[in-house]
Structure 1
Amino acid sequence: MKKMLVLLFIVLMLASSCAAHKHMIGKGPQSGVKVDKRQWYALWGLVRIGDVNIPDMAGDKADYEIYTRVNGIDWLINFFLGWTTIQTRTVTVTK
């Protein structure tokens, strides 16, 4: 039973970062400058806490890429705060 729980924990840990989304705006990134912010959620993603403002992150650029994902730091935060229903995702805008 203990081996099964360890195996389940490892599988869950490895599978947690497979949710990523990329959106190309205009012609996509032109300069390669990246801006990262962390978006916080309550109730396992149903209620957004704070505001990651994509137009502010992109500035005056019309061509950029939005990449949202759960990275290693997010996974660690979610692991410890998940029981409180608080979750995070990283949002990266590449100009």
Structure 2
Amino acid sequence: MTKIIVLLLALSIFAISCSYQHRHLIGDGPQSGVELTRKQWYALWGLVPVNDVNVTELAGNSENYEVYSRRSAGDVFINLITGLVSFTSRTVTVTK
């Protein structure tokens, strides 16, 4: 029983530490500081996208913006709870 608890604890620590982030500057990067944030949801532990976060739509007609996608602390919490039923999320922010 102790081995199972240690294994579950190790897997939990690994899952929490697997954070990632990506930043993409388009054009000259953000100019006005306006931010739009959306959640991207996946099923089957990230294999199947549930919704579509359209970055071009969020940027509007702006030619200069930044796309920042990450797993935030809130996402990690959601993933720990819903990971048991195979849903995960990430946060996508577009700054114009």
State the TM bucket, normalised to the shorter chain. 0.7 to 0.9
TM-score, reference length from structure 1: 0.84
Aligned residue number for residue 91 of structure 2: 90
- RMSD of the TM alignment (CA)? 2.1
Gaps of 5+ in 1: none
Aligned residue pairs total: 94
Structure 2 residue runs of 5 or longer lacking an equivalent are: none
Secondary structure at the aligned position of 1:45 is classed as: coil
| Cα offsets for 1:40-91 (capped at 9, x unmatched) | 0011111100111111111110110100000011111100011211100000
2:17 equivalent in structure 1: 15
**Relative to structure 1, is the Cα distance of residues 88 and 27 closer, same or farther in structure 2, using a 3 angstrom cutoff?**
same
2-side partners of 1:85 and 1:47: how far apart?
Answer: 10
SS of residue in 2 equivalent to 1:62: coil
TM-score by length of 2: 0.83
- One-letter amino acid matched to 2:39: R
Aligned partner letter, 1:12: F
- Map of 1:38 onto structure 2: 39
